[in-house]
Structure 1
Amino acid sequence: MMAGRTYGGKLAIGVGITVFLTLLTIVTSVIGLAFVVRSKDAAITSATEDLTGAENLSRTMEMRIADYRAFLLDKSTENAQLTENNHQAFRRLLDDLTGNVTDPDSKTKLEQIAALDDQHAAATAEMMTARRQTDDIGAITRLNDAKVVPIRRPLQQALADLIDLVRADVAEARQASSTRATQAIGLVIGFGVLTTISAVLVALRLSRDLKREVGAAVGHIQSSSAQLEAAAAQQVNGGRDQASAMSEITTTISELLITSRQIADTAQRVSKIAEETEAAARAGDATIDQTRASIGTIRSQVDQIVQHMLALGEKSQQIGLVVDLVSELAEQTNILAINATIEASGAGEWGRRFAVVAEEIRKLADRTAASAKEIRTLIEDVRGAVNTTVMATEIGAKAVDAGARKFDDATNSFREIVQLVSTTNDATREIELSTKQQTTAVEQVNVAASDTARVSRETEASAVQTKQTAAHLSTLSSDLLEMVGTGRH
């Protein structure tokens, strides 16, 4: 499987096998433990339920016998009912336990208990009937000893045997769980030993392949080191000639770089002046825009004032209509008050009080009419003031519109200035950019020339060092062969 693979691939396969076996061991351990725990829980739960049911069955029988004996003593209806209730509970427990138990011996014992319980129930029913018919305790006791006791004792013994069988089942289940746990532990140990053996085999195989591949690689290194030593000697001579030529090129490029930098500085100053001019023009344009916005706000506020004044005029007109209605009501009230006074004077003594009230109503109507006239006068004044305000506002709105048109003309002039300055600035930036690109190109050429000169010197030094390293590498390859233990020299 590992033939034709690199050492890294073989190492990956070996590690993968070891990891797989380790994971298999872990998974097996987890599954085994889960199986053991589940089996143990099932066995303990089942055995506990069966044992509890058997013990409850025995306790219910004892309570039933106790209530039956109490009935034989006092012949009370309560004890008879308790005896019957315990018998019903006993039968329910017996049926539940019969459905849960799986052991054949326990099922047989439960069938025996059911048969004995039927006999015992019939005998106790007969005794309870006889007890209701007589008060002779001695005769009842002798009859009970003759009929009930011979059945009760086997029934109690059968219940005790059932409890023993269930306890034996619990012990057997516990032993089975322990056996499964032992088997799981053995399986885990087996996988652990298999994993260890596999890891050792993989390590031995990788060690053997390492020795073989390193031996072959060292042979190639020895042959290559000889060739490298010869090539390094040639690089030493070529590097010296190249370093001399590059030194002359570097001097010429340095002079050209100084001239390019001077041109770039001059173009940058011109570009900066153009940018400042453009910024000032744009600031003026922004100020004009802000002023136009303020004028627009004023125009909007003037329009709102006109609308409010017109609404106020409409409201004052509505109030005038209401005042006219009040005046009319006051006149009618005054006429009604005069008529009431005339009628009251004709009524004699009985209409005198009514005449006083009518007089007060007439005075109130007079005051209301006078107030309505004053309100009408005030409304006329307000209406005149509103009309005056509307006219003044219209004049102000026209002045605002004229100012806005003038600001538009000024804005157009500033925008033309900004456009011209922007065009000038773009041209200056193009000049500056071209000069900078030229300077950058010269600097790059200078750096490249310097690097080439430096590399030439370094190449010469590296060639000398490479020659020494090649000789040292040949010595190290021999030492590596001895360390790996391939037996080659």
Structure 2
Amino acid sequence: MASQTKGWKLRYWIILGYCVPIVLTALSSLFVFSCVQTVREKSVELQHSSEINQKVHDLETDVQARSRATRGYLLQKATASLEVYREAKKHLAETLNALHDLIQDPPQQKNLQQLTPLLQDLEELDQELFTLVDQGKTTQAVERWKMMNERERMGAISTVLETMVAREAEIVHAGEVAGQQALDQLLIAIVLTTILSIGIAIGLGTWIIRKIVQQINQSASVVASSTNEIAVSVEQQERTANQQAVSVSETTTTMDELGASARQSAEQAEAAAAGARQALAIADSGNQAVGRSIDGMAALKQKVGAIAEQILRLSEQTSQIGNISGLVSDLANQTNMLALNAAVEAVRAGEHGKGFAVVAGEIRKLADQSKKSAEKINLLVADIQTAINSTVMVTDEGTKTVEEGVKIAQQTAESFSGVTDAVNNVVLNSQQISLNVKQQAIAIQQVVDAMNALNVAAQETANGMGQVRIGTQQLNETASNLKAIV
């Protein structure tokens, strides 16, 4: 046991010191619970026996009531006696059934078996007597009652009932004795378990304290020797940390200067990138202007084409007007000829053709006017045709001029595109240079931050080493004090 518990930790000893009293308390509680259960069972048995006694007394009362009702019915045939008998008979049957359910004791069950036929015989006799009285044979009924000696039957029933009461009294007495014994055992168990728990707890606690003190003494000795070794190592680490702090401080200064140079380079690269972006914006604006010029030329070309188409349509319509004017002129000549023929026919007709001659003269006038108008229209159509031809020539020249302008604008756009690509490459290169310089500046700043952190860490390490040295000294003193106290 000693070898097994030698390597135990302190918490295991403390747990052991708590577990033993708890186990003893649990065992005593189980024993007390068993005793309490015994007392409870005996109490239930006593209550059960009391109920059986009450039922036996009720049974005896019902038997006597039934016997009195029978005698009263023999002396005087009264309905009240018959009702009393029936009520007593009913209550007796219920009580007897209840006793059959309640009684578990074998001797009592045997007594109940003896009682049942006696009650049945008495009931049969009572029924026979009631029948004789109902038939008007009261004298024969009285003689039958005397001859059957009902008093002896009642005595036998009373004897069995008294036996049952006596048996229940024995059961009650035995239960009371057992209950008292259980209570005595409960009291003894409580006292013994209390004394035993206190004794074992004191003894075990003393033994555990001795073991704990022994372990603490050993641990204090080990701590004291270890703190001396730690103190020497801490002094060496403190000197090394101070040297590292000086080196890190010098490196930090150098990295600060390099970071400032990198930031200046980054600013210059950013300025170059900004100028390149401005040139790219100007080139984009020129390219957009050329694009708009090309779009305008294309729109102008479309409009000039549309004008040419409209002029061609106008020329065709003018030709149609000339044709119509020729038809009108021919129609006027034919009308004039018809009017002349009509005048000749009117002259031939004499007086009857004068009105017709007047109409023919008016038609000739209209035909002459139509011919003159057609001639004027032909002259106008010829002038318009000449103007249209001139306009067609001008629009052709305009179309050619627009096409040449479009070609020139496209060449200009191609030139701007080359400039834009070149400037864009410059911008990309400038941005890449700026980005690289910024990344270098960020990296240098990160190195500076890391060196600052290392510097702070080195200083904190040096301070921590000093605190560890002080703590080690205090721990050594505490171990010595603990060893002295224990």
- Indicate the TM-score class for this superposition, using the shorter chain for normalisation: 0.5 to 0.7
Which residue pairs with 2:246 in the alignment?
A: 244
Q: Does 1:213 align with 2:215?
A: yes
Give the Å deviation of 1:483.
0.8
- The answer to whether structure 1 residue 223 and structure 2 residue 225 are counterparts is yes
Cα contact 1:253–1:445 (8 A) shared by 2: yes
Task: Report if the CA contact (8 A) 1:54-1:159 is conserved.
Answer: yes
C-alpha distance after superposition, 1:257-278 (max 9, x if no partner): 55667859x99x99xx9xxxxx
Q: 8 Å contact 2:129–2:144 — kept in the other structure?
A: no
- State how far apart, in whole Å, the 2-side matches of 1:45 and 1:234 are: 88
User: Aligned in 2, Cα 1:163/1:257: closer, same or farther, shift over 3 Å?
Assistant: farther
**Residue equivalent to 2:77:** 75
1:397-454: CA deviation from partner (whole Å, max 9, x where unpaired): xxxxxxxxxxxxxxxxxxxxxxxxxxxxxx9999999888766654543333223323
- 1:105 CA drift (Å): 5.0
CA contact (8 A) 1:71 1:80 kept: yes
List gaps (5 residues or longer) in structure 2: 278-428
In 2, distance between residues paired with 1:64 and 1:428? 131
Q: 1:49 to 1:227 in 2, by over 3 A?
A: same
Q: 1:215 to 1:76 in 2, by over 3 A?
A: same
CA distance in 1, matches of 2:9, 2:433: 60
Distance change in 2, residues 1:442/1:191 (3 Å): farther
How do residues 439-478 of structure 1 correspond to structure 2 at under 5 angstroms? 441-478=443-480
Match of 1:9 in 2: 12
Pick closer, same or farther for the CA change 1:130–1:3 going to 2, 3 Å: same
2:108 equivalent among 97, 106, 109: 106
Distance in 1, matches of 2:58 and 2:125, equals 23
Higher-Rg structure is 2
TM-score, with length taken from structure 2: 0.52
Change (3 A) 1:434 1:198: farther
| Pair 1:58-2:83 in alignment | no
**Per-residue deviation, residues 86-132 of structure 1 (Å, max 9, x unmatched):** 45764664465356434455345445544654664466456556655
Q: Distance in 1 between matches of 2:433 and 2:66?
A: 119
Distance 1:249 1:179, change over 3 A: same
User: For 2:90 and 2:234, how far apart are their aligned partners in 1?
Assistant: 110
Which residue identity is paired with 2:229?
Answer: Q
Given that 2:241 and 2:461 are in contact with CA atoms closer than 8 Å, whether structure 1 keeps it comes out as yes
Answer yes or no: is the 8 Å Cα contact 1:257–1:442 preserved in 2.
Answer: yes
Q: Unmatched 5+ residue regions in structure 1?
A: 274-426, 485-489
Q: 1:22 to 1:85 in 2, by over 3 A?
A: closer
1:191-213 Cα deviation digits (max 9, x unpaired)? 55544444334422321122111
Describe the shift of the 1:244–1:50 C-alpha distance in structure 2 as closer, same or farther (beyond 3 A). same
* 1:130–1:140 CA contact under 8 A, matched in 2: no
- Give the aligned CA root-mean-square deviation in angstroms: 4.7
Partner of residue 232, structure 1: 234
| Correspondence for 1:155 among 133, 154, 157 | 157
Letter in 2 for 1:72: L
* 1:243 and 1:456 in contact (8 A); partners too: yes
Aligned counterparts of 2:187 and 2:432: Cα–Cα separation in 1: 84
What's the secondary structure of 1:5's corresponding residue? coil
- Looking at structure 1, the residues matched to 190 and 445 of structure 2 have their Cα atoms a distance apart, in angstroms, of 73
Whether contact under 8 Å (2:46, 2:172) holds in the other structure is yes
Q: Structure 1 residue 228: deviation in Å?
A: 2.8
* Cα distance, 1:210–1:428 mapped onto 2, change above 3 Å: farther
Alignment of 1:221-300 (within 5 A): 221-257=223-259
Shift in alpha-carbon separation, 1:159–1:22, aligned structure 2, 3 A: closer
Deviation at 1:182, TM superposition (A): 4.2
User: Residue 124 of structure 1 contacts residue 148 of structure 1 at CA under 8 Å; is this kept in 2?
Assistant: no
- What fraction of aligned residue pairs are identical, expressed as a percent? 20
Distance 1:472 1:145 in 2: 117
| Mapping of residues 361-440 of structure 1, within 5 Å | none
The alpha-carbon distance between structure 1 residues 47 and 437, as it changes in their structure 2 partners (threshold 3 A), is farther
Code of the residue aligned with 2:5 in structure 1: it is M
> Matches of 1:49 and 1:439 in 2, distance apart?
104
Distance in structure 2 (CA, Å) of the matches to 1:180 and 1:96:
30
| TM-score (normalised: structure 1) | 0.52
From the superposition, tell whether residues 208 and 82 of structure 1 become closer, same or farther in structure 2 (CA, over 3 Å).
Answer: same
TM superposition shift of 1:64: 1.0
Mapped to 2, the partners of 1:143 and 1:16 lie a distance apart of: 80
**Cα separation, 1, equivalents of 2:440 and 2:200:** 69
2:38–2:179 Cα contact (<8 Å) kept: no
- For residues 313-333 of structure 1, give each alpha carbon's deviation from its aligned partner in whole angstroms, at most 9, with x where no partner exists: xxxxxxxxxxxxxxxxxxxxx
Kindly report which structure 2 residues correspond to 1:183-198, keeping only aligned pairs within 5 A, or say none: 183-184=185-186, 186-187=188-189, 190-198=192-200
Would the aligned equivalents of 1:47 and 1:170 in 2 still touch at CA under 8 Å?
A: yes
Equivalents in 2 of 1:428, 1:204: separation in Å?
86
Q: Given that residues 262 and 437 in structure 2 are in contact (C-alpha distance below 8 angstroms), is that contact kept between their aligned partners in structure 1?
A: yes
| Code of the aligned partner of 2:11 | G
Distance 1:123 1:464 in 2: 118
Is the Cα–Cα contact under 8 Å of residues 36 and 182 in structure 2 kept in the other structure? no
